Structure 1
Amino acid sequence: MQLYNTLSAEQRAQLIEEAGQNRITLSFYQYANIEDPKKFRDDLFIVWSRLDALGRTYVAYEGINAQMSVPAENFEAFRETLEAYDFMKGIRLNVAVEQDDLSFLKLTVKVRNKIVADGLDDAAFDVTNKGIHLNAKEFNEMLNDPDVVLVDFRNHYESEVGHFTGAITPDVDTFRESLPIINDQLQDQKQSKKLLMYCTGGIRCEKASAYFKHQGFENVFQLEGGIIEYARQVKAEGLESKFIGKNFVFDHRLGERITNDIIANCHQCGKPCDTHINCANEACHLLFIQCDECHEKMHGCCSDPCLEIIQLPIDKQKEIRKGIQKGNLIFKKGKSDALKFKKERNVFEEVVPVKVATVSEIRKKKHERKILIGQGAHYFTKAAIAQFTITNSEVKVGDEVLITGPSTGEQRMVLNAFKVNGLNAETAKTDDKITFAVPFRIRLSDKLYLIKKEN
């Protein structure tokens, strides 16, 4: 059996949309002694492929770390593939707070030296001597202790959109950078203070807590299951959420809302906003925060040069980015000089959150379904006209649609008028060519989706 993906992300997205099945986004990890990571990797790829499981997984001699998307109907079967291994029996699966059927579009299982890049010499200390695990209720109670120092062990672009009130949020790009910084900052508090730490799903704290105990910290505690499990317990038990804002996640969603607080700002205009996107220019792909108004104005780009590039023909764009190593830009994570309002902050400052209007407004995408109905049919040299071939279902005047593509990004609009096969019409059906005005340029690779609201 093949042990690699054969479908592109676009092809996979189309199959998911056409299948119309609900999927569950989840994550899990487990430290364990794996004798043959390569065989373990291949075995997982085979059984997960049969279940149509997608996602990103790292395996190493020290264990497994995974973020997955699984068809809801295959959820229990997926759990059984894990519990077939003794070290994963009873494993906790962190189910996402907000679900998106397109959170992952391919299955990747990679063998790595470590399941988290921590930069630590594991042989130098006892990695099993971890901190005390706390559930949500216990965590909330400990936050009231004046002798507690709360530390966020995530990166700056994660804590920028959401964190626990009063937490130290290191201004770092990677987890490994935060360890020596926090160790230096808290040297004088090893015996007098209780070190309380948290991260997204708990895995970073598993190693960090052992490291800090090795460094001489006597009282080390960690949030079990991280922010994901904390949010679940808060909702299930009716607890007060001490976490404000969004929890950044490493999939297509780029974040799931925990509370209605917006503690970040658009990196281009400065207005309150916590929506992360990647620059629409594939040669850049910078991760940054962009509000709806700037997204519409800049067509999902981080700068004017990038906006100019995406207006070029696809072949020309490929020629421009040929040989460019965009990784350095991707992992600058919102610190590009092109961003006027990039986040520069004192990690000890008090953040004043801005309340958003309503939860329903924030989560409106959760209550809608996108139906693929068309494919780009013609490339126009100027941004004014879009033409699609309707390949499925029908669309009517007044319908809301979504146009997506590698360069176009995601563009929503309401069809106030259109032509079908060159004539004014109210409805377009399968095999029709539909033409309508747009304020941007579409590509032949662009897809047309009909937005259906769900109650």
Structure 2
Amino acid sequence: MQLYNTLSAEERAIMIDDAGKQRLTLSFYAYAQISDPTQFRNELFLAWNPLEVLGRIYVASEGINAQLSLPADNFYAFKDTIEKYDFMKGIRLNIAVEHDDHSFLKLTVKVRDKIVADGLNDTTFDVTNIGIHLKAKEFNEILENPDTIVVDFRNHYESEIGYFKGAITPDVDTFRESLPIINEQLQDFKEDKNLVMYCTGGIRCEKASAYFKHQGFKNVYQLEGGIINYAKQIKEENLESKFIGKNFVFDHRLGERITDDIVSQCHQCGKACDVHTNCANEGCHLLFIQCDSCKEKMEGCCSAECVTVIHLPEEEQKAIRRGIKNGNKIFKKGKSDVLTFKNNEETHAVFVAEKPSKNARTGVKKEIKIKKQYIGKGTHFFPKPSIGQFLIEENEIKIGDTILIKGTTTGEQKLVITEMLVNDLTKEIANAGDTCTFKLPFRIRLSDKLYKILD
């Protein structure tokens, strides 16, 4: 009984091309109580593998989150396999606007604790008490209401290439980071504003809308089926697109175009561009935006250092990326000091903490520029001596530096380093790969980010 892939991505791509079948790319999700996620996972794999389904699927005791592709000829047979489960009968399948036969090259079905990593304790609120679903036409209409606040619950690298006009786009790496940030910024707007939210396919907003209703927001709405379904509806109904640019997707396409607007720039030269790629150096794999000219010049790499690496013998490349120190650099999402136009100098849109008059707009945004350099992340906190431990992943810090520690629960904390231990020795400088510890007047959490404030 085969329960896992036996072909490489390269072998699968050749098979797809040889078959010559048109493939559909689609996504769906469902919240439901699943008593045995492992058994459910195995049933899905056995049913889908013969249908040539490929994709990334997460199952948990709370439901399923699926992004996949399959031959168009097998679509109805596939629907039969999911509708045998009561909770997936009549489920909405978000079919992509643009198709790519190579959007997925493996069938991966994984059992997870949650189908979306939201960092929430679901026992503290009613996850079924969700915001009102809006179809594309209704969504367009509510955006015109001056009492509407629209929030993008995707990550910074997603909203960078496309967004709804006027939306708040949190500068976050993960969904879980955005929830407390938005909750704090919108405290004064719970009663008299429409909190309207959207994401890629709708799953993040299902949980977010329930969370914000629990937090006391009275008028909570969400885009039904996310941007994927919105794009389909505006095309079918000939509606104006309030979304501009591309919709980032989590497959080999890395985006599908909704409008012709290009709202981002090449991270290396600044030219208008919205094509994401991963650095060609397997030991880096940084996700960033790169134009054709820079792609040719830099051989698909994010830096000259990575260009040098890809020309080394394969065994040397493997040796370089072997181990925790280098492994931690892999799969960073679009922020690096090697990128001239997407480094760690960030601009945050912050709501002024002042309740507006009844007839006022949703609030005033002011730009706060914080020039900082990414250093590393928190790895441990020793409560009795109140000492934080950090892994230095990039650059260096030294005695006298002003640092910023940032995290979902920790918030943003600044302080000056007066003394520290580096690899258990008293030193003045900590470099990439070092572990350093120093006293803190507050608690840090695992994976809090450490930055150096630049002059």
Q: Could you tell me the TM-score, scaled by structure 2's length? A: 0.75
Mapped partners of 1:151, 1:179: distance in 2: 11
1: CA distance, partners of 2:163 / 2:289: 16
* Contact 1:285–1:326, Cα closer than 8 Å, also in 2: no
Instruction: Return the letter of the residue paired with 2:24.
Output: I
Q: Does 1:128 align with 2:150?
A: no
Q: Which amino acid aligns with 1:288?
A: F
Aligned-pair distance for 1:48? 0.3
Give the aligned length.
351
| Aligned residues of 1:287 and 1:331 also touching (Cα < 8 A) | yes
The aligned residue for residue 274 of structure 1 is 274
Q: Does 1:195 align with 2:198?
A: no
Provide the residue aligned with 1:389 in structure 2. none
Q: CA deviation at 1:346?
A: 3.9
Task: Kindly indicate whether the alpha-carbon contact (under 8 Å) linking 1:132 and 1:220 is maintained by their aligned counterparts in 2.
Answer: yes
Provide Cα deviations, 1:22-65, integer angstroms capped at 9, x if missing partner: 11000000000111101000000001001010000000000000
Instruction: Give distance in 2, aligned partners of 1:35 and 1:117.
Output: 20
- For residues 77-110 of structure 1, the C-alpha deviation after alignment (integer angstroms, 9 at most, x for no partner) is 0111010100000001000110000000000000
CA distance in structure 2 between the aligned counterparts of 1:42 and 1:9, rounded to whole angstroms: 21
**Cross-structure match for 2:11:** 11
State yes or no: 1:219 paired with 2:216: no
- The alignment-based identity, stated in percent, is 73
CA offsets, 1:375-406, max 9 Å, x none? xxxxxxxxxxxxxxxxxxxxxxxxxxxxxxxx
Counterpart in the other structure of 1:257: 257
Partner of residue 94, structure 1 = 94
1:313 Cα deviation from its structure 2 partner: 1.8
Is 1:156 paired with 2:160? no
Tell me how far 1:132 sits from its aligned partner: 0.5
Q: Shift of residue 328 of structure 1?
A: 4.1
1:331 Cα deviation from its structure 2 partner: 4.4
Cα distance between partner residues in 1 of 2:279 and 2:50: 34
Q: Deviations over 1:267-309 (max 9, x none)?
A: 0001111100000000000000000000000010000000001
In structure 1, distance between residues paired with 2:52 and 2:67: 14
1:368 corresponds to which residue? Answer: none
Aligned CA distance change for structure 1 residues 27 and 326 (closer, same or farther; 3 Å): farther
Q: Label 1:82 to 1:326 Cα distance change in 2 as closer, same or farther (>3 A).
A: farther
Q: Secondary structure at the match of 1:42?
A: helix
Correspondence 1:24 to 2:24: yes
Deviation at 1:323, TM superposition (A): 2.2
Residue 448 of structure 1: aligned partner: none
Match of 2:48 in 1: 48
| Pair 232,330 (structure 1): closer, same or farther in 2 beyond 3 Å | farther
Hey, what's the Cα distance between the residues in 2 that align with 1:172 and 1:61? 27
Structure 2 distance, partners of 1:238, 1:333, is 35
- Contact 2:62-2:114 within 8 A present in 1 as well: yes
> What SS does the aligned partner of 2:40 have?
helix
1-structure distance, mates of 2:25, 2:90? 18
CA distance in 1, matches of 2:333, 2:146: 33
1:149–1:328: structure 2 CA closer, same or farther, 3 Å change rule? Answer: farther
Q: Structure 1 length normalisation: TM-score? A: 0.75
Aligned partner letter, 1:32: A
Q: Give the corresponding residue for 1:395.
A: none
Q: Is the 8 A contact 2:280 2:310 kept in 1?
A: yes
Residues 45 and 7 from structure 1, CA distance in 2 versus in 1: closer, same or farther, beyond 3 angstroms? same
**One-letter amino acid of the counterpart of residue 213, structure 1:** K
In the alignment, the residues of structure 2 paired with residue 241 and residue 326 of structure 1 have an alpha-carbon distance, to the nearest angstrom, of 43
* Contiguous gaps of at least 5 residues in structure 2: 351-364, 367-455
Q: Give SS of 1:82's match.
A: helix
The answer for the alignment partner of 2:448 in structure 1 is none
CA deviations 1:188-211 (Å, max 9, x no partner) are 110021100000000000000000
> SS in structure 2 opposite 1:68?
strand
Label 1:330 to 1:199 Cα distance change in 2 as closer, same or farther (>3 A).
farther
| Helix, strand or coil at the partner of 1:262 | coil
Q: For 1:144 and 1:234, how far apart are their aligned partners in 2?
A: 16
- Contact kept in structure 1, 2:284 and 2:331, CA below 8 Å: no
Structure 1 regions of 5+ residues with no counterpart? 351-455
Give the 3-state SS of the residue equivalent to 2:277 in structure 1: strand
Query: Which amino acid is 1:298 matched to?
Result: M
**Counterpart code for 2:248:** F
Matched residues in 2 for 1:327 and 1:205: separation? Answer: 32
Matching residue of 1:238: 238
Q: Which residue of 1 aligns with 2:310?
A: 310
| 8 Å contact kept, 1:285–1:330 | yes
Task: State the superposition RMSD in angstroms.
Answer: 1.5
How far off its partner does 1:320 sit? 1.7
The 1-side partners of 2:137 and 2:42 are apart by 40
Deviation by residue 1:398-437 (Cα, 9 ceiling, x = unmatched)? xxxxxxxxxxxxxxxxxxxxxxxxxxxxxxxxxxxxxxxx
Structure 1 consecutive aligned stretches of length 4 or more whose deviation exceeds 6 Å: none
Q: How far has the Cα of 1:329 moved from its partner? A: 3.4
The CA distance in 2 between the partners of 1:347 and 1:262, in whole Å, is: 21
CA contact (8 A) 2:320 2:326 kept: no
Match for residue 104 of structure 2? 104
2 CA distance for matches of 1:298 and 1:189? 47
Deviates more, 1:341-350 or 1:223-232: 341-350
The alignment status of 1:70 with 2:70, answered yes or no, reads: yes
- The CA deviation at 1:17 is 1.1
Distance 1:232 1:325, change over 3 A: farther
Give the match's secondary structure for 1:220: strand
Instruction: Letter of the 1:159 partner, please give it.
Output: S
Contact 1:173 1:331 in 2 (8 A): no
Moved more, 339-348 or 280-289: 339-348
Task: Say if 1:219 and 1:327 are closer, same or farther in 2 by CA, change over 3 A.
Answer: farther
Partner of 1:210: 210
**Secondary structure, counterpart of 2:329 in structure 1:** helix
Q: CA deviation at 1:265?
A: 0.6
Partner Cα distance (2:243, 2:329) in 1: 29
Is the CA contact (8 Å cut-off) linking 2:150 and 2:197 kept in structure 1? yes
Task: Please report how far the alpha carbon of residue 113 of structure 1 lies from its aligned counterpart in structure 2 after TM superposition.
Answer: 0.5
Amino acid at match of 1:100: D
1:128 & 1:255 partners in 2: Cα distance?
30
SS of the residue 1:281 aligns to: coil
What is the CA deviation profile of residues 302-344 of structure 1, one whole-angstrom value per residue up to 9, with x for unaligned ones?
0000000111122221222122566643443111111111064
Structure 2 partner of 1:299: 299
